[in-house]
Amino acid sequence: MDIRNVIQSQLKRVVAEHSPMPFPENIEDDDELDLFGLDSLAFMELLIGVEKELGYIPRTILEGDLYPETFGELISAYDA
């Protein structure tokens, strides 16, 4: 399963539910997640949604070492 596609579709779902911000047609790696204004609850829903499809939450995020600021950083956390 393509990690990028999974994360992108989950992010799109969470943004639709928690933010008025339209999801861009082409999201870039350096697009900042903060743009969507997701709070702690929405970010957690994103992690859970991805976990349901990929089966895990990256240790760096679970351990609190990484708080992804951009879409690319989020992808990298799962790619590592």
Q: How many of the other CB atoms lie within 10 Å of CB of 9? A: 15
Is 65 within 8 Å of 57 (Cβ atoms)?
A: no
Residues that contact another protein, how many (by CB under 8 A): 25
- Which residues, including other chains, have CB under 8 Å from residue 46's CB and lie 6 or more apart? 10, 11, 14, 38
Least separation in angstroms between residue 64's CB and another protein is 3
Return the number of the residue (2 or 22) whose C-beta is nearest another protein: 22
> Which residue's CB is nearer to another protein, number 2 or number 28?
28
Q: Which stretch binds another protein (CB under 8 A): 3-11, 31-39, 72-80?
A: 31-39
* DSSP class of 65: S
Residues that bind another protein (CB under 8 A): 18-22, 34-41, 43-45, 47-48, 57, 61-65, 67
